[in-house]
């Protein structure tokens, strides 16, 4: 892409960067919502009217009665009063309205840029994909919440993983578009062949780690085995394989999920460090960020486990996964082949 055209698209770049920042903030708010047990406090899906909170005592009482009818209250939070309900309501309300804000920030400039002719060709298709993806993330959020309103006091950890990974996917798409505009469109087919293959492997392994991180969050699996590096003195405690089904043990059982998440962390760290150091010439300017991001994220993961998922550490650890993903995407783009 020539410099003049890149200059013309500068407003589009800032729009997309703003979108990345908003998504990152949403990840933080979502982490707080989950760790404070606030995610099921709003029991209805009202995309428009839901933007307004309860406005008087009668409306607050009505909202609280709806919460009292779901399993989370009847099985876990029977002690909660209206004041406690208002505290958890705040985070879910903020979470949903931040999503509405993001919708406006993406849609309004999209229309303006489209009318001005700044979005065309591959960039217009990419922008449409981002908008559709963002709407899908919101719908998947309700799909996740709905799983905790009928029979279970918790949302499905599978649905939580789908929702989180969808948000990370949209973030990746927006950030990749920024890189495409600034550095020229690139495909995953490698320009630096060997380094590119290792970066693609790193990306896939990190994606798996993010999935198991979501499983860990959804099952509260980080609150058990709060020792490091062994799990209460064992590499693999007997409970890890308690059900006799490999898939169920490693995806649907707290012990097995934490076991996978712990050990994938070692593999991700080793692959990132090895690739960054060995191919630092091809990853000039990026490899120190890779080393720093993976070291910080690994350390945050350890202390999150040791503290039985301290609220601040848990949220920062979730944000750290997004930050590491951003750096890996940068390195992946750097090693890709320019598309004419």
| Helix, strand, coil distribution of the chain in percent, nearest 5 | 75, 5, 25
> Which pLDDT band holds residue 3 (cuts at 50, 70, 90)?
low
2: tokens are: 């020539």
Q: What is the mean pLDDT of residues 239-251?
A: 91
* Number of domains comprising the chain: 2
Instruction: Tell me: do 160 and 218 sit in the same domain.
Output: no
Instruction: Tell me: do 174 and 201 sit in the same domain.
Output: no
Report the pLDDT value the prediction gives residue 244, as an integer from 0 to 100. Answer: 83
Domain hosting 278: range is: 186-340
Instruction: Tell me: do 14 and 133 sit in the same domain.
Output: yes
Residue 339 carries which DSSP code?
P
Report the pLDDT value the prediction gives residue 188, as an integer from 0 to 100. Answer: 74
Percent of the chain with pLDDT over 70: 97
213: tokens are: 């991180």
Instruction: Tell me: do 16 and 131 sit in the same domain.
Output: yes
pLDDT, averaged across the chain:
95
Instruction: Tell me: do 71 and 175 sit in the same domain.
Output: yes
Report the pLDDT value the prediction gives residue 243, as an integer from 0 to 100. Answer: 82
- Res. 2: pLDDT tops 60: no
- 80-96 pLDDT, tens digit per residue, is 999 999 999 999 999 99
> Which pLDDT band holds residue 321 (cuts at 50, 70, 90)?
very high
Residue 229, preceding peptide bond in cis (omega within 30° of 0): yes
Choosing from 184, 205, 239, the residue where a domain stops is 184
Choosing from 124, 157, 184, the residue where a domain stops is 184
Report the pLDDT value the prediction gives residue 6, as an integer from 0 to 100. Answer: 59
Burial of 206 by CB count in 10 Å (0-12 exposed, 13-18 middle, 19+ buried)?
A: buried
Instruction: Tell me: do 145 and 193 sit in the same domain.
Output: no
Instruction: Tell me: do 283 and 316 sit in the same domain.
Output: yes
- Res. 5: pLDDT tops 60: no
Choosing from 184, 212, 240, the residue where a domain stops is 184
Distance separating alpha carbons of residues 93 and 39, to the nearest angstrom: 9
> Rg of the chain's alpha carbons, rounded to an integer?
22
Query: Burial code of 260-285, b = ≥16 C-beta within 10 A, e = fewer?
Result: bbbebbeebbebbbebbeebbebbee
Instruction: Tell me: do 135 and 198 sit in the same domain.
Output: no
For 189, the 3-state DSSP assignment is strand
85: tokens are: 């309900």
- 269-315 pLDDT, tens digit per residue, is 999 999 999 999 999 999 999 999 999 999 999 999 999 999 999 99
Report the pLDDT value the prediction gives residue 49, as an integer from 0 to 100. Answer: 83
- One DSSP character per residue, 32-81 reads HHHHTT-TTS-----TTGGGSPP-SHHHHHHHHHHHHTSHIIIII-TT--
Instruction: Tell me: do 27 and 132 sit in the same domain.
Output: yes
Instruction: Tell me: do 113 and 51 sit in the same domain.
Output: yes
Instruction: Tell me: do 62 and 180 sit in the same domain.
Output: yes
> Which pLDDT band holds residue 1 (cuts at 50, 70, 90)?
low
Instruction: Tell me: do 287 and 261 sit in the same domain.
Output: yes
Distance separating alpha carbons of residues 58 and 87, to the nearest angstrom: 17
């Amino acid at each position: 892409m020539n410099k003049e055209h890149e200059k013309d698209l500068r407003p589009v770049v800032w729009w997309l960067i703003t979108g990345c920042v908003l998504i990152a903030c949403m990840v933080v708010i979502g982490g707080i919502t989950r760790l404070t047990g606030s995610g099921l406090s709003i029991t209805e899906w009202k995309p428009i009217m839901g933007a307004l909170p309860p406005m008087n005592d009668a409306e607050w009482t009505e909202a609280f009665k709806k919460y009292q009818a779901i399993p989370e209250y009847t099985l876990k939070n029977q002690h909660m009063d209206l004041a406690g309900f208002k505290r958890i309501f705040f985070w879910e309300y903020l979470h949903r309205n931040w999503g509405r804000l993001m919708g406006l920030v993406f849609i309004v400039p999209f229309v303006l840029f489209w009318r001005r002719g700044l979005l065309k060709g591959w960039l217009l298709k990419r922008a449409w994909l981002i908008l559709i993806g963002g709407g899908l993330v919101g719908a998947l959020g309700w799909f996740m919440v709905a799983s905790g309103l009928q029979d279970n006091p918790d949302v499905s950890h599978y649905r939580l993983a789908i929702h989180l990974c969808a948000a990370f996917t949209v973030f990746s798409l927006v950030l990749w578009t920024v890189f495409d505009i600034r550095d020229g469109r690139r495909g995953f087919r490698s320009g630096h062949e060997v380094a590119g293959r290792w970066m693609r492997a790193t990306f896939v392994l990190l994606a798996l780690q993010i999935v198991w991180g979501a499983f860990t969050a959804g099952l509260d699996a980080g609150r058990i085995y709060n020792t490091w590096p062994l799990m209460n003195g064992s590499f693999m405690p007997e409970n890890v394989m308690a059900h006799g089904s490999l898939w169920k043990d490693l995806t649907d059982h707290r012990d097995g999920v934490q076991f996978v998440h712990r050990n994938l962390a070692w593999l991700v760290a080793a692959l990132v460090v090895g690739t960054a150091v060995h191919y630092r010439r091809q990853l000039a300017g990026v490899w120190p960020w890779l080393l720093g991001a993976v070291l910080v994220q690994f350390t945050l993961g350890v202390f999150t486990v040791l503290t039985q998922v301290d609220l601040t550490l848990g949220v920062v650890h979730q944000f750290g996964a997004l930050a590491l993903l951003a750096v890996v995407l940068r390195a992946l783009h750097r090693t890709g082949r320019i598309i004419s």
